[in-house]
């Protein structure tokens, strides 16, 4: 048995030139503007979710770390080279 996903309708206001270019792109890709927008939004949400997960993981590592700087960093100290 196939499960169907509920779909919501969305009204967008687009510049006429942008819509024309989107229609041309959809035609070249043998799809619809609707499918292009749906695909773009899906990829955007997925990428944003992955960025948030990565930042959360980074925060978790930072929270577990006990290291701390003894003095403020400067550009010179960050790019300094040891001559020894």
pLDDT: which is higher, 64 or 72: 64
Output the CA–CA distances (angstroms, integers) from residue 15 to 18, 22, 31, 77, in the order listed: 5, 11, 20, 50
**Phi, psi dihedral angles at 80 (to 5 degrees):** -65, 150
pTM above threshold 0.85: no
pLDDT band at 84 (very low <50, low <70, confident <90, very high): very low
Do the Cβ atoms of 26 and 33 come closer than 8 Å? yes
What is the per-residue pLDDT across 22-62, written as a single tens digit (0 to 9) for each?
A: 999 999 999 999 999 999 999 999 999 999 999 999 999 98
């Amino acid at each position: 048995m196939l499960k169907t996903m509920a779909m919501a309708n969305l009204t967008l206001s687009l510049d006429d030139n942008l819509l024309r270019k989107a229609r041309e792109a959809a035609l070249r890709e043998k799809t619809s503007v609707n499918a292009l927008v749906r695909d773009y939004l899906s990829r955007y949400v997925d990428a944003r979710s992955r960025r948030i997960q990565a930042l959360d993981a980074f925060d978790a590592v930072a929270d577990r770390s006990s290291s701390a700087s003894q003095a403020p960093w400067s550009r010179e100290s960050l790019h300094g080279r040891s001559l020894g």
